[in-house]
Structure 1
Amino acid sequence: MVDIAARVHNHKWKIDPIVRSLIDTDFYKLLMCQSVFRYRPDTQVRFSLINRSKHIPLADLIDEGELREQLDHIRSLNLTRGESTWMRGNMFYGKRAMFTPEFMDWFENLRLPPYHLERVGDQYELSFEGSWPEVMLWEIPALAVLMELRSRTVLHDMRKFELQVLYARAMTKLWEKVERLRDVEDLRLADFGTRRRHSFLWQDWCVQAMTEGLGEKFVGTSNCLIAKNRDLEAIGTNAHELPMVYAALAETDEALARAPYDVLSDWHEEHDGNLRIILPDTYGTPGFLERAPDWLAGWTGIRIDSGDPATGAERAIAWWKARGEDPTQKLVIFSDGLDVDKIAELSAQFAGRVRVSFGWGTLLTNDFRGLTPDDRLAPFSMVCKAVSADGRATVKLSDNPRKAMGPKDQIERYKRVFGVGEQAEQEVLV
């Protein structure tokens, strides 16, 4: 097992680059990339960094030269033979050859496109432009780089024994969570923590701890490189990016209203009816479910990623019942701001009513709260989103208005088209 404290104390970034592979990313990114490669390869998009936690002055904490070195290193990466073999030959969700030969031929020759980086006040403006299949693959590594560089800044002046004690405390904190989760009946839990992790080495340690501590209750990781290296299931389906871009490309209000369902129709075609998980909250869950075509009710489950999670699950159960489906045969995946108490609470609340699974993110792979003076390693909320498609602004409404994004006039238009009324605000922790 890696001595993380010693590695942090002695590391040079060329030995320990933050992102060490093009598959050091979330599985849903690769699945979505293949779908985009097939259906919308010529769409031009722009992705931008959005630091929701403005009190974290990234440009004061992170050296611009170091940031550029890490981003340039990512641009030098291409798929290795072993990684290609894993993607071409491994079985994912019971299906071999999930990735087509055409997509793999393209991916094996890919180098990520250029980036634009500029300091604006105490923040960085970081953006990526180009064809959608290429640019979308910047999102996860860009976030991972910024999060880890911030961690390295805090750790830089710590001495050897300080680091040993810090990581011992962090390991103890995580193991206490594992021990608590052992008592949760019928638990299904996956690591979703790549994008806002403390570091790659720490995420890898967390996954090993979950594997040993939870056994079959730990079902896999969203991180493809760790899944490959640790012989675990790669977990993931799709994300808000797809409906955001499809909606931005819509020419009329009618086409806009259809866009979220067009996404899922293409997804169904792409995966031959596999990976049938609905993410309904991009433009408000109630309206999405109310207008959803009947064929969607037959899908496997729903992922809840914003708003009150219990309310979201109750909506899903009521919707399935109204469409003649048996909720006890359906799956609800919770994936927003989870920690142990909430996981245990939701498991107990919905036991026997619906199948439940959890995608545990930042508070699995980056919970150093209370472990440093002034809490300088506490996680914060940062995203990298598609902000335009073919020159048109994208919009996200969410079930939590604090997560909404886009130009104000377009937000109002989308609310009108999708029938979004009053929404309850919730704190965005991570």
Structure 2
Amino acid sequence: MVDIATRAWNRQWKIDPIVRSLIDTDFYKLLMCQSVFRNKPDTHVTFSLINRSKHIKLAELIDEGELREQLDHIRSLSLARGESTWLRGNTFYGKRQMFRPDFMEWFEGLRLPPYHLEKRDGQYELTFEGAWPEVMLWEIPALAVLMELRGRAVLKDMGKFELQVLYARAMTKLWEKVEALRELPDLRIADFGTRRRHSFLWQDWCVQAMQEGLGEKFVGTSNCLIAMRREMEAIGTNAHELPMVYSALAEDDEALRHAPYKVLADWHEEHDGNLRVILPDTYGTKGFLEGAPDWLAGWTGIRVDSGDPATAAETAINWWKSRGEDPTQKLVIFSDGLDVAKVIELQNQFAGRVKVSFGWGTLLTNDFRGLVPNDALSPFSLVCKAVSANGKPTVKLSDNPNKAMGPASEIERYKRVFGVGAQEASEVLV
């Protein structure tokens, strides 16, 4: 097993680059990339870093030269032969050859496009522009780099024994979570923690700990590289990025109203089974489900990613009933800001009413709360989102208004078009 504390002490990033591979990313990014490659390959997008936790001054913590070195390293990466073989030949969600030959040929020749980096008011402004299939693959590695460099900045003055004790405490903390979760009957939980992980080595350790401690209750990881190396399931479906860009491309309000469903119609043509999972909260879960075509009710389930998770699950259950579907045969994946207490609460509340599953993110792979002075490793909310498509701004409303993004005038327009009324705001921690 890797001695993470010693590797942190050595601080030789050329031995431990933050991003080791183009498949050191979330599985859903590759699924979405193939869909975009097929349906919207010429769309020009801009992605931008957004730090929701303004009190964390990243440009004051992270050396610009070190950041550029890591980003330049990512631009040097290409798909390795073994990685290509795994993607081409492995079975994902029960389907062989998930990735089509034309997409794989394109991916094998890909190098990520240039980035633009500036400092402003103690923060980094990091943007990526170009063809959507290329630019979208920057999101996860960019976030992983910034999160890990922030961690390295906090750890850089610690001694060897101090680091050993820190990681021992963090391991103990995680193992106590595992011990609590293993008592839950019928638990299904996966690692969703790539984008805001403490480090690659730490995520890999967390995944192995979950695998040993939970056995079959641990159903896989969203990280493709770890899934390949540890011979486990790669987990993921789709994300807000698709409806955000499709909606920005809409020519008028009527086209905008139908854009989120057009996304899923394209997805429906490519995928079946457990890949047919709805992410309904981009422009408000309640309105989305009320306006959804009947064929969407036949999909496998939904993923809950903002607002009160129990409320969203109840809304989905009532919607399935209203469309003549049996909720007990439907899947609900909870994935927003989870930790052990919330997992236990939701499992107990919805077990037997729906098929319950969890995607556990930041508080699995980056929970160092209370382990260093001033809580300097406390997790924070950093995202990298598509902010424009073909020159038009994107918008996300969410079920939590504190997660909304886009120009104020466009946010109001989208609220009108999608019938979003008063929303209850909640603190965004991760």
User: Shorter-chain TM-score: what band?
Assistant: over 0.9
Deviation sequence 1:288-319 (CA, Å, 0-9, x none): 00000000000000000000000000000000
Q: Which amino acid aligns with 1:70?
A: Q
For 1:122 and 1:413, how far apart are their aligned partners in 2? 32
Q: Which residue of 2 aligns with 1:77?
A: 77
Q: Which amino acid aligns with 1:260?
A: P
Residue 274 of structure 1 and its aligned partner are, at CA, apart by 5.9
For 2:55 and 2:11, how far apart are their aligned partners in 1? 28
Deviation sequence 1:209-229 (CA, Å, 0-9, x none): 000000000000000000000
Residue 273 of structure 1 and its aligned partner are, at CA, apart by 6.2
Q: Which amino acid aligns with 2:137?
A: L
For 1:371 and 1:295, how far apart are their aligned partners in 2? 49
**Residue 43 in structure 1 maps to residue 43 in structure 2:** yes
For 1:329 and 1:114, how far apart are their aligned partners in 2? 45
**Residue 56 in structure 1 maps to residue 43 in structure 2:** no
**Residue 361 in structure 1 maps to residue 361 in structure 2:** yes
Q: Which amino acid aligns with 1:150?
A: R
Q: Which residue of 2 aligns with 1:339?
A: 339
Q: Which residue of 1 aligns with 2:180?
A: 180
Report the 3-state secondary structure (helix = DSSP H, G, I; strand = E; otherwise coil) of the residue aligned with 1:23.
coil
Which runs of structure 2 are paired with 1:4-23 in the superposition (5 Å)?
4-23=4-23
**Residue 143 in structure 1 maps to residue 179 in structure 2:** no
Q: Which residue of 2 aligns with 1:280?
A: 280
Tell me, yes or no, if the aligned pair for 1:331 and 1:357 is still in contact at 8 Å: yes
Q: Which residue of 2 aligns with 1:86?
A: 86
For 2:38 and 2:87, how far apart are their aligned partners in 1? 17
Report the TM-score when normalising by structure 2.
1.00
For 1:376 and 1:232, how far apart are their aligned partners in 2? 33
Tell me, yes or no, if the aligned pair for 2:211 and 2:218 is still in contact at 8 Å: yes
Q: Which residue of 2 aligns with 1:163?
A: 163
Q: Which residue of 1 aligns with 2:308?
A: 308
Q: Which amino acid aligns with 2:65?
A: G
Aligned length: 430
Q: Which amino acid aligns with 2:16?
A: D
Q: Which amino acid aligns with 1:293?
A: P
For 1:272 and 1:404, how far apart are their aligned partners in 2? 30
Which runs of structure 2 are paired with 1:16-415 in the superposition (5 Å)?
16-271=16-271, 275-415=275-415
Q: Which amino acid aligns with 1:425?
A: A
Segments of 4+ moved more than 3 angstroms: none
Report the 3-state secondary structure (helix = DSSP H, G, I; strand = E; otherwise coil) of the residue aligned with 2:275.
coil
For 1:226 and 1:303, how far apart are their aligned partners in 2? 23
Residue 11 of structure 1 and its aligned partner are, at CA, apart by 2.9
For 1:123 and 1:290, how far apart are their aligned partners in 2? 40
Tell me, yes or no, if the aligned pair for 1:339 and 1:363 is still in contact at 8 Å: yes
For 2:187 and 2:117, how far apart are their aligned partners in 1? 42
Q: Which amino acid aligns with 1:52?
A: R
Q: Which amino acid aligns with 1:73?
A: H
Structure 2 stretches of 5 or more lacking a match? none
Deviation sequence 1:234-275 (CA, Å, 0-9, x none): 000000000000000000100000000000000011225661
Deviation sequence 1:154-201 (CA, Å, 0-9, x none): 010100000000000000000000000011110000000000000000
CA RMSD of aligned residues (A): 0.6
For 2:287 and 2:353, how far apart are their aligned partners in 1? 23
Report the 3-state secondary structure (helix = DSSP H, G, I; strand = E; otherwise coil) of the residue aligned with 1:79.
coil
Tell me, yes or no, if the aligned pair for 1:302 and 1:331 is still in contact at 8 Å: yes
Tell me, yes or no, if the aligned pair for 1:220 and 1:235 is still in contact at 8 Å: yes
Deviation sequence 1:88-107 (CA, Å, 0-9, x none): 00000000000000000000
For 1:360 and 1:270, how far apart are their aligned partners in 2? 26
Report the 3-state secondary structure (helix = DSSP H, G, I; strand = E; otherwise coil) of the residue aligned with 1:48.
strand
Report the 3-state secondary structure (helix = DSSP H, G, I; strand = E; otherwise coil) of the residue aligned with 1:254.
helix
Tell me, yes or no, if the aligned pair for 1:28 and 1:222 is still in contact at 8 Å: yes
Tell me, yes or no, if the aligned pair for 2:335 and 2:361 is still in contact at 8 Å: yes
Tell me, yes or no, if the aligned pair for 2:169 and 2:371 is still in contact at 8 Å: yes
Tell me, yes or no, if the aligned pair for 2:338 and 2:363 is still in contact at 8 Å: yes
Report the TM-score when normalising by structure 1.
1.00
Deviation sequence 1:89-128 (CA, Å, 0-9, x none): 0000000000000000000000000000000020000000
Q: Which amino acid aligns with 1:420?
A: V
Q: Which amino acid aligns with 2:360?
A: W
For 1:274 and 1:283, how far apart are their aligned partners in 2? 23
Tell me, yes or no, if the aligned pair for 2:317 and 2:327 is still in contact at 8 Å: yes
Residue 47 of structure 1 and its aligned partner are, at CA, apart by 0.1
Tell me, yes or no, if the aligned pair for 2:62 and 2:153 is still in contact at 8 Å: yes
Tell me, yes or no, if the aligned pair for 2:273 and 2:300 is still in contact at 8 Å: no
Tell me, yes or no, if the aligned pair for 1:268 and 1:274 is still in contact at 8 Å: no
Report the 3-state secondary structure (helix = DSSP H, G, I; strand = E; otherwise coil) of the residue aligned with 1:261.
helix
For 1:294 and 1:196, how far apart are their aligned partners in 2? 36
